[in-house]
């Protein structure tokens, strides 16, 4: 979403670094460029003016000290980063749980903002954190809203309170109140109430939302906003905050290609923090919103913390410990271990999205490489490994020609692809053995896009050395190379 803005910020910093010694006119020019970039990203005018004014004031005040520094541009960068974190809401916020369960969370927002789907994402998120959430179908206006929430609840194995069929029938206030009593009886510690939305802010929406809020006294009222609708998202949130009030904002569709102005404006305009962000269509594409991490991504520094957290979740502690023990003890890394890693990587999501969290991912050269990655490569590789027998995964040296043909047919790939995978896996084993012995990564080794295995070394052999003949039998050749 912030690709265009991030590219322009990179251009601003690039020109600033070339200045060397920074002057007042350089600060003025930088602020004008930042202002133009933010306005082009559809950030609210009031937010832009305040943001640029604070940067200019702080930079000019720091100018005498900056002139004594050898990293003057870096000091300006630090100021911009701090102010960017500030307009995104400052410190990250967490759900405020009630001292007396259940904690009641009311979701509100316009129709089409992704509110019902987000209810399912939130329930899944809380369940994984050890809570016992209950979903409440209180959107009785939108056609099939109750059915949609019921399907979501079943897919994540979370209970749902849905006494009414909806489609314009039923009292959402009574449903919401009854749900809380039901949760107390069944000892659910979180109640998530999905309320009805409208196509726009109107008196009927305000009145119904106010009545539900007064009836259930929620611990958290979250306003769900579609970040793709730009400045309308900010105006809608402000109108709802003035008319009904809410505690925090949840941004949906942050993976879209909109300019991102809503995310950069909404916290500053409403004075309410962004609590959660939905970053994809999968129910797992959901997490707390971290202003400092988002600022880092906008400024082209990536988001290593989130990447590390996702990796930790994908590869459980026992698996990581077992692989570490195998590495230390000198045991060979097998294709079974590799399959386990592939499955963990799939849990983490799209490779393109993951690599986009690395520092410099918006750099033109790196972005071109990331865009060329085929996420389906992981699926194809996994199919090949899964078509092998347990013995073949543990000992690839038994893979003769007939076995490779069988694997190719079973996985729907070609024998050439099977051979390539086995060859690269053998190379990876050699690399691990060399690294275990303290030799480090050999020259010429590189990780190809979409694969966690290095290709064969590209270093040319000594031309004076007599070239050894290689057997045409794959199994015999593998045995010779393994000696």
For residue 309, the model assigns a pLDDT of 57
User: Cβ(296)–Cβ(6) under 8 Å?
Assistant: no
- Judge whether 161 and 185 are in contact, CB under 8 Å: no
For 240, residues 6+ apart whose C-beta sits below 8 A from its C-beta are 108, 201, 206, 209, 223, 246
Q: Is 353 exposed, middle or buried (0-12, 13-18, 19+ CB in 10 A)?
A: middle
Residue 257's CB is within 10 A of a number of other CB atoms, namely 10
The predicted pLDDT at position 340 comes to 74
Identify the pLDDT of residue 267.
86
What is the pLDDT, as a whole number, of residue 448?
A: 37
So what's the architecture of 312-436 in CATH?
Answer: Orthogonal Bundle (1.10)
Q: Beta strands 103-109 and 220-226: pairing type? A: parallel
Block residue for tokens 């499955």:
343
Q: Give the per-residue pLDDT at 317.
A: 59
In what side-by-side order are the strands of the sheet with 248-252?
Answer: 160-161, 133-138, 190-195, 103-109, 220-226, 248-252, 274-278, 286-288
Question: Class for domain 3-87, per CATH?
Answer: mainly alpha
Distance, CA of 403 to CA of 391 (rounded, Å): 12
- The span from the CA of 290 to the CA of 303, in Å, is 10
> Of 437, 406, 404, whose CA–CA distance to 422 is shortest?
404
Backbone angles phi, psi at 438, to 5 degrees: 85, 15
Question: Would you call 101 helix, strand, or coil by DSSP?
Answer: coil
For 303-332, letters b (16+ CB in 10 Å) and e give beebbeebeeebbeeeeeeebeeeeeeeee
Domain boundaries, the chain: 3-87, 103-301, 312-436
Residue 27 in contact with residue 60, Cβ under 8 Å? yes
Query: Which pLDDT value is given to residue 247?
Result: 93
Q: Provide the CA 165 distance to its chain's centre, in angstroms.
A: 35
- pLDDT (0 to 100) of residue 459: 37
User: Which numeric CATH code is attached to 103-301?
Assistant: 3.40.50.300
Angstrom distance (rounded) from CA 229 to CA 254: 11
Closest CA to 286 of 314, 257, 252: 252
Q: pLDDT in tens for each of the 483 residues of the chain?
A: 567 777 788 888 778 777 778 888 888 998 999 999 888 888 888 889 999 999 999 988 888 877 676 677 788 888 888 998 898 888 888 999 999 999 999 999 888 888 999 999 999 999 999 999 999 999 998 889 999 999 999 999 999 999 998 888 889 999 999 999 999 999 999 999 999 887 667 777 788 889 999 999 999 999 998 877 767 778 888 888 888 889 999 988 877 655 667 778 888 888 899 999 888 888 888 889 888 888 887 776 655 555 555 656 656 656 666 666 666 666 667 887 777 777 676 666 666 666 655 555 555 555 566 566 666 777 888 889 889 998 888 888 898 999 999 999 998 999 998 998 888 888 777 776 666 555 444 444 333 333 444 333 333 334 344 444 555 555 555 555 544
């Amino acid at each position: 979403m912030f690709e265009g803005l991030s590219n322009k910020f990179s251009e601003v910093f690039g020109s600033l670094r070339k200045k060397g010694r920074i002057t007042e006119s350089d600060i003025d020019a930088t602020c004008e460029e930042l202002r133009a970039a933010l306005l082009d990203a559809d950030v609210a005018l009031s937010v832009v003016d305040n943001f640029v004014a604070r940067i200019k004031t702080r930079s000019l005040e720091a100018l005498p000290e900056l002139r004594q520094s050898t990293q003057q541009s870096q000091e300006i960068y630090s100021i911009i980063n701090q102010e960017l974190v500030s307009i995104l809401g400052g410190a990250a916020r967490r759900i405020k749980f009630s001292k007396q369960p259940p904690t009641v969370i009311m979701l509100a927002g316009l129709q089409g903002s992704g509110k019902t789907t987000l209810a399912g994402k939130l329930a899944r998120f809380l369940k994984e954190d050890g809570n016992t959430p209950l979903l409440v179908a209180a959107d009785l206006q939108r056609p099939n809203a109750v059915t949609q929430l019921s399907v979501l609840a079943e897919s994540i194995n979370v209970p749902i309170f849905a006494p009414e069929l909806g489609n314009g029938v039923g009292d959402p206030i009574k449903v919401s109140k009854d749900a809380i009593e039901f949760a107390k009886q069944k000892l659910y510690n979180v109640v998530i109430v999905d309320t009805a939305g409208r196509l726009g802010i109107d008196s009927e929406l305000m009145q119904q939302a106010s009545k539900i809020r007064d009836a259930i006294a929620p611990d958290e009222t979250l306003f769900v906003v579609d970040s793709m609708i730009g400045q309308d998202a900010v105006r809608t949130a402000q109108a709802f905050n003035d008319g009904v009030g809410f505690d925090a904002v949840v941004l949906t569709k942050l993976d879209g290609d909109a300019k991102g102005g809503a995310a950069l404006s909404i916290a500053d305009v409403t004075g309410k923090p962004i609590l959660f962000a939905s970053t994809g269509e999968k129910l797992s594409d959901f997490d707390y919103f971290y202003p400092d991490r988002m600022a880092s991504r906008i400024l082209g520094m990536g988001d290593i913390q989130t990447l590390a957290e996702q990796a930790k979740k994908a590869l459980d502690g026992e698996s990581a410990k077992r692989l570490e023990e195998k590495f230390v003890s000198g045991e060979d890394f097998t294709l079974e271990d590799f399959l386990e890693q592939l499955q963990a990587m799939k849990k983490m999501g799209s490779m393109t999205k993951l690599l986009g969290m690395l520092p410099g991912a918006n750099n033109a050269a790196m972005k071109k490489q990331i865009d060329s990655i085929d996420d389906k490569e992981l699926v194809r590789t996994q199919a090949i490994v899964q078509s092998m027998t347990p013995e073949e995964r543990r000992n690839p040296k038994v893979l003769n020609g007939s076995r490779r043909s069988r694997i190719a047919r079973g996985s729907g790939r070609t024998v050439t692809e099977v051979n390539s995978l086995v060859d690269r896996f053998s190379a990876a084993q050699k690399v691990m053995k060399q690294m275990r012995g303290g030799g480090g990564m050999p020259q010429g080794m590189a990780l190809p896009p979409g694969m966690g295995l290095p290709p064969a070394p590209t270093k040319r052999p000594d031309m004076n050395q007599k070239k050894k003949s290689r057997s045409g039998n794959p199994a015999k050749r593998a045995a010779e190379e393994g000696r």
